[in-house]
Structure 1
Amino acid sequence: MQAIFYEEHGSADVLEYGGFPDPEIEADEVLVDIKAGGLNHLDVWTRRGMPSPEELPHIQGSDGAGVVSEVGERVTRFKEGDRVVVDPGRYCGQCEFCRKGEQSLCVDYKMMGEHVRGVHSELAAVPEDNLIELPEDIDFVTAASAPLVFQTAWRMLITRAEIKQSDSVLVLGASGGVGHACVQIAANEGCEVWATASSEEKLDHARDCGADHLVNYEEEDFADVIKEQTDGRGVDVVVDHIGEATWDNSLSVAARGGTVVTCGATSGVTPETNIPNVFWKQLDILGSTMGTPGEMDEVMAKVFDGTLEPYVREVLPMSEAVRAQEMLESREGFGSVVVVPDSEYDAAEYE
């Protein structure tokens, strides 16, 4: 088969698209003929070696969708020809957290494409428990762009921050995968949504996703703008997956009794924290990672019925993996980037 992989960590130039041994499935696994794979910033971090996968060479990709081509002897939910989408989080099923239904806290948690080989390849061996049936009316590109970012956003806002209709929610970096998912989820819950992005074009897309207030952070300090427009109150919930560059402002703009929830730190992982800001305002600071299978089912059901809509900025052949990751690193465009096996790619279809 052909796959996106690297043999050493480094810049995007270490990525290759070429021949790789076909995977062999275990008894509880399904062999999926991958039709499309969604990229995430996670692919950039793992390629740089943060963290390093269990085995090199490493196949990239946490998100994918395709058609079942073979099933293991213990597989009962799927058969050859079924259309499926991948849930990338793999859990032990035995630890205290898995037994309580909190699989995202699993002590032996592994992510496809991060810790173990991923699905950006023509074929992928995927555990039966990590597959969701894909409705016939949902195309593979849309399906592949949704799981990681919408599951992450859903857990952040619905499970961890417990947003409600009366809340005001600030989404930083609203043009990325997680950001645009957060905007839609908060808007769908009836919240007043603030969104930041680096260009007017991206902010227009954020408005289309449901944002009520827009801030171009390249031209204005988002904390100053929000404080001015809320008479100093701030917002109830801040979604910050940026890290060092925004952390101080995120604490500053959170309202008294408010919440700051984070799932990442793309600009740096060791920001300074103004601790008096935390205790005087009695803020809740929440961490969130991925989600449970139940949360994945909930949010994907809303993707499948059209309530939530993944935005795809570009569809490229897998052989252009370098270009695809450079788009993520440069924050170019709005929404997700999707790659398709060269054997399946038709440029005219994605113009």
Structure 2
Amino acid sequence: MKAAVFDKNGIENLKVLDIEKPVPASGEALVKVASAAINPIDDRVINKVDFGGKPHIPGAEVAGVVEEVGDSVKGFSKGDHVIVYPRKFDGTCDMCLAGNEMLCRNGGIFGLATDGGFREYIAVPEANLIKVPEDMNMELAASIPVAALTAYHALAMARLSAGETLYVVGASGNTGMFAVQLGKIQGAHVVAISGKKWLGDFGADTVVDGEALKAETSKPDFKKANVVVHSIGSKEWDRSMSLLDLNGRLVLFGALTGQDVALNVQDLYARQISIVGSTGGSKKEITELVKMAKNLKVRVWKRFPLEKIVEAFEAEHSEERDGRVMLTF
């Protein structure tokens, strides 16, 4: 079978090779990959994680069809459409027992702590498999494990309620497009900070770019945010903080534009602002998302076969990117 493999850092070192097709162990299922998404996690794994020269397969977001099951697998059978819960977890630590598998003390991210899904077949522990309806679009399915789940968990951490105002920074990004949709489903008034007008079709009540927003914030009747989703790192940090109303909550994940920010502590406590970190999501949340998926959609900008995976990463980094970049199989 074919797989994308690298043994030293750098996208230029990512090669599509013929490797041995895996055989599922007793508690595993063999999944034929149907769709995979390019994600910043993969970028970091390929460019920054040192695997000591050992060949590694990236790929955090995967959907496919069960091809074969191991002897002790009870909940899945050949032909099931599935996604992969993207966290290795032991199920026994205090975090797992509390339903926070994404924080497992002995776990890690799928595609980083384990080989990932940029390959034709993958053997997956039964505990990491989630069934999806057979009529679900596989590109949407592949976007649920990271992009949608990260947004869903973040809104839960921010305690978003119906009737509140939600601002989404980076609204046209992989997670942003799902934060917009999920915020609307949860009854919020959603403001997408972006120049992409298609976000109106994804549930945004208002779509406003940075320059227009600057003008809006100077108006006396400007409506501030109860919740701001901030997923891009240090860029736009000050703006995100300034958008918050009294008792507002800023929920953050991702650091694409930098990890360090300036924080005015006096402003923080005077306005009683909460800053909430969020990562991934739980197995319970991903199953909830699957049930909601008929109300979700994904915007795909470009598709590439596995053999052109380097071009797919180049597209992911393009300033012209206007939606997700997906791998087809």
With normalisation by structure 2, the TM-score equals: 0.94
What SS class does the counterpart of residue 78 from structure 2 fall into? Answer: coil
Q: Is the 8 A contact 1:142 1:312 kept in 2?
A: no
How far residue 62 of structure 1 moved from its aligned partner, in angstroms, is 1.1
- Indicate whether 1:208 and 2:198 are aligned: no
- Indicate whether 1:190 and 2:187 are aligned: yes
Hey, what's the Cα distance between the residues in 1 that align with 2:119 and 2:220?
48
Q: Residues 88-107 of structure 1 correspond to what in structure 2 (within 5 A)? A: 88-107=86-105
How far residue 339 of structure 1 moved from its aligned partner, in angstroms, is 0.3
What SS class does the counterpart of residue 170 from structure 1 fall into? Answer: strand
Alpha carbons of structure 1 residues 128 and 164: separation in structure 2 relative to 1, 3 Å: same
Hey, what's the Cα distance between the residues in 1 that align with 2:96 and 2:127?
13
Structure 1: 4+ residue segments shifted above 6 A:
none
Aligned match of 2:322 = 334
How far residue 109 of structure 1 moved from its aligned partner, in angstroms, is 2.6
How far residue 171 of structure 1 moved from its aligned partner, in angstroms, is 0.5
Deviations 1:32-75 (A, max 9, x none): 111211221111111111x4458831111111122212212211
Aligned match of 1:348 = none
What SS class does the counterpart of residue 59 from structure 1 fall into? Answer: coil
Decide which of 64, 69, 79 is 2:77's aligned counterpart.
79
What SS class does the counterpart of residue 62 from structure 2 fall into? Answer: strand
Task: Look up the equivalent residue of 2:106 and give its one-letter code.
Answer: D
Q: Is the 8 A contact 2:8 2:53 kept in 1?
A: no
What SS class does the counterpart of residue 66 from structure 2 fall into? Answer: strand
Q: Is the 8 A contact 2:61 2:117 kept in 1?
A: yes
Q: Residues 1-351 of structure 1 correspond to what in structure 2 (within 5 A)? A: 1-10=1-10, 12-49=11-48, 51-52=49-50, 56-157=54-155, 159-197=156-194, 199=195, 203-217=196-210, 220=211, 222=213, 224-229=214-219, 231=221, 234-303=224-293, 306-341=294-329
What SS class does the counterpart of residue 261 from structure 1 fall into? Answer: strand
Q: Is the 8 A contact 1:8 1:14 kept in 2?
A: yes
Hey, what's the Cα distance between the residues in 1 that align with 2:291 and 2:114?
27
Q: Which stretches in structure 1 are left out of the alignment for 5+ residues?
A: 342-351
Task: Look up the equivalent residue of 1:42 and give its one-letter code.
Answer: I
Alpha carbons of structure 1 residues 124 and 175: separation in structure 2 relative to 1, 3 Å: same
Alpha carbons of structure 1 residues 179 and 33: separation in structure 2 relative to 1, 3 Å: same
Alpha carbons of structure 1 residues 53 and 129: separation in structure 2 relative to 1, 3 Å: farther
Hey, what's the Cα distance between the residues in 1 that align with 2:87 and 2:300?
22
Aligned match of 1:346 = none
Hey, what's the Cα distance between the residues in 2 that align with 1:130 and 1:54?
27
Alpha carbons of structure 1 residues 205 and 164: separation in structure 2 relative to 1, 3 Å: same
How far residue 285 of structure 1 moved from its aligned partner, in angstroms, is 0.4
Count of residues in correspondence between the two structures: 329
Q: Is the 8 A contact 1:155 1:290 kept in 2?
A: yes
Alpha-carbon RMSD across the aligned residues, in angstroms, is 1.8
How far residue 230 of structure 1 moved from its aligned partner, in angstroms, is 6.5
Q: Is the 8 A contact 1:196 1:214 kept in 2?
A: yes
Hey, what's the Cα distance between the residues in 2 that align with 1:38 and 1:74?
30
How far residue 103 of structure 1 moved from its aligned partner, in angstroms, is 1.6
Deviations 1:108-161 (A, max 9, x none): 23111122100110110111111122212123233223321111110001x201
Q: Is the 8 A contact 1:38 1:145 kept in 2?
A: yes
Hey, what's the Cα distance between the residues in 2 that align with 1:52 and 1:94?
28
Task: Look up the equivalent residue of 2:37 and give its one-letter code.
Answer: G
What SS class does the counterpart of residue 185 from structure 1 fall into? Answer: helix
With normalisation by structure 1, the TM-score equals: 0.88
Task: Look up the equivalent residue of 2:66 and give its one-letter code.
Answer: V
Hey, what's the Cα distance between the residues in 2 that align with 1:66 and 1:55?
29
What SS class does the counterpart of residue 270 from structure 1 fall into? Answer: coil
Task: Look up the equivalent residue of 1:152 and give its one-letter code.
Answer: T
Q: Is the 8 A contact 1:239 1:262 kept in 2?
A: yes
Alpha carbons of structure 1 residues 112 and 279: separation in structure 2 relative to 1, 3 Å: same
Hey, what's the Cα distance between the residues in 2 that align with 1:230 and 1:61?
47
Q: Is the 8 A contact 1:168 1:235 kept in 2?
A: yes
Q: Is the 8 A contact 2:132 2:290 kept in 1?
A: no
Q: Is the 8 A contact 1:53 1:116 kept in 2?
A: no
Q: Is the 8 A contact 1:175 1:333 kept in 2?
A: no
How far residue 94 of structure 1 moved from its aligned partner, in angstroms, is 0.9
